[in-house]
Amino acid sequence: MPPAAPDLGLLLDVDGPIASPLTRTIAQPGIVADLCTLLAAGVPVVFNTGRSDAFLRAQVVAPLLAAGLPAGARLHAVCEKGAVWATVGRDGLGEVQVDRALAVPPVCAEVVGGLVAGRYGEAMFVDGTKRSMATVEARTDVPAGHFAQAQAAFDAELLAALTARGLGVRLGDRVVPDAGGQCPWRIDPTVIATDVESVRVGKDLGARRALELLAGDGPLPRRWHTVGDSATDYRMADQLHALGHPVTHVDVRPAGPLPPVPYPVVRDRFLRDDAAGAAHLRALVGQLA
Ligand SMILES: [Mg+2]
């Protein structure tokens, strides 16, 4: 008889609900143990992050292995917003897959590196572990406001430099097509980083990869919880809903209006970020039969 479909699957943004936005590590007690408990109970878990596989390996997979990842865990990592992915087993992160069609041209890393080597290096550093994107991240040794201030100027200079090199790039509602009228690349600023990426990547692509990865190792869950701290994290729930999967989105942002979406959204009244992520996992453990 084929195995029964799991009742619940988890699709988890990492920075915010799992890793502290301050330390960029798993800082909440309980998160690792509760993930292991849920995995041991047959709950499939897929991380859906803009981070690199190297970050996932060091900051998320290593603590899970140290805690004793259960045999038979259905655990996958979708990185770089869907351009990179791997399956996690008791030997760690498996073979890393990259969709080369989604990788930015090498000139993007050159331009980003040049800007950070100049005046922007006091607020940010280049993430050298990305396989498909060019990324700068906020330094953790300067106040957060420092990065926010520098980021807007950096993003504008980056747009000017990339389009001067002939690339078609968008930044927010500014769209600068290439000579052929195309705009295949995007500058995406977030709270702690700016990514140069393909316009085809995103948390929605990550959700489709998650479904493919889970279809390869067992039955799909009957319902989903997606968890995130950004407006763009709703795209994972949007995508699952559009494909007919029942989904509830858990928004761990501290404030702001909840968007009108055609599926349930929950938010803790008091907790935010990884504290809210930890509380949600703990509640799910409590609901295990
Ligand atoms: Mg996040």
Percentages of the chain per state (helix, strand, coil), in multiples of 5: 35, 20, 40
Cβ neighbors of 234 (< 8 A, separation 6 or more) are: 203, 228, 249, 251, 259, 261
Closest CA to 105 of 76, 134, 125: 134
Q: 180 alpha carbon to ligand 1 midpoint, in Å?
A: 34
What pLDDT shows up at residue 1?
A: 66
Q: Is 144's pLDDT higher than 90?
A: no
Ligand 1 centre and the CA of 15: distance in Å? 4
Ligand 1 centroid distance, CA of 82 (Å): 14
Cα 81 to averaged position of ligand 1 atoms, centre (Å): 11
**Pair 240, 247: CB distance under 8 Å:** yes
Q: pLDDT tens digits, residue range 65-78?
A: 999 999 999 999 99
Each residue of 36-56: pLDDT tens digit? 999 999 999 999 999 999 999
Average pLDDT over residues 99-109: 98
Is residue 2's pLDDT more than 80?
no
Q: Ligand 1 centre from 160 Cα, in Å?
A: 27
Cα-to-centroid distance, 179 and ligand 1 (Å):
34
CA of 1 to the centre of ligand 1 (A): 39
pLDDT band at 254 (very low <50, low <70, confident <90, very high): confident
Ligand 1 centre to CA of 289 (Å) is: 30
CA of 188 to the centre of ligand 1 (A): 13
- Cα(172) to centroid(ligand 1), Å: 18
